[in-house]
Amino acid sequence: MPAIEGAQRPFWMHQVVEYLIGIVLIGAAIQAPEPVVPAVMGGLVVMNAAIARGPASAFPLVSRTVHRWLDVVVMLLLVAAAFQPAFDVDSTGRLLLCGIAFVMFFIWLNSDFAEKAISKKNKQQVKQARQERLARPQSEELGKKAGRVVGSGVNAAKRMNQKRKEAAQDGLARPQSEELGRKAGRVVGSGVNAAKRMNEKRKEADNE
């Protein structure tokens, strides 16, 4: 029967309560006129709680799932022990055994028997996540270095492109300056030739 939703008790509390129940039975057996059955059943309850895997276990031999069904067996044995004919049990002892069985059933019905242990797969995932966290700073540093290298390459490419543009502009300006120099040379040459001709004409006019 599944546990009631929203009323589940942690397994350690389930174990502690079973220890207390077993101690109560053993304590009652000491004062009872017929102590054998309550003492044996009290020891059985304590042993059943001690062998289950959990925070309060003394000998973790069985899983919580197995312990869940061992509890059912113990409850049936408590009721059977109260009315068995082999050993004498006084009326107080019978009432106590049946009451303990009812209390155990109520606790069993509202306890969480889910295993909390981490599986091997989960352990590997946790280990892998831890390694990724450790490797993350190194990858970030490599990313920063790669970014610097890329940035340097981009800046170098921009500088080379700027130099090419400047060289192209210089190449376009050179023919224009050469053409202007040639024109200026022609003008100067024409002026010199004109001055020479004018000087020769003056000389001829003076001779006449």
Tell me how many domains the chain contains.
Answer: 1
- Strand, helix or coil for residue 190: helix
Tell me: the pLDDT tens digits for 2-43?
444 445 889 999 999 999 999 999 999 998 888 899 999 999
**Is 2 within a domain?**
no
How high is the pLDDT of residue 127? 74
- Three-state SS for 4? coil
Q: What is the pTM of this model?
A: 0.53
Does residue 36 belong to any structural domain of this protein?
yes
pLDDT interval class at 159 (50, 70, 90): confident
Task: List, in sequence order, every residue forming a beta bridge with 111; answer none if it has no partner.
Answer: 9
Q: Is 60 domain-assigned?
A: yes
Domain contains 134: no
Determine the residue type at 106: F
pLDDT digits (tens, 9 = 90+) for 55-103: 888 888 999 999 999 999 999 999 999 998 888 888 899 999 999 999 9
Is 22 within a domain?
yes
Q: Give the domain extent around 90.
A: 11-109
Kindly report the backbone phi and psi dihedral angles of residue 62, in degrees, each rounded to the nearest multiple of 5, phi listed first.
Answer: -120, 155
Query: How high does pLDDT run on average in the chain?
Result: 80
In a domain, 40, yes or no: yes
Phi, psi of 130 (to 5 degrees): -65, -40
What is the rounded CA–CA span in Å between residue 17 and residue 104?
Answer: 9
Structure token pair of residue 129:
């996540």
Residue 117: φ, ψ to 5°: -70, 145
Residue 17 inside a domain? The answer is: yes
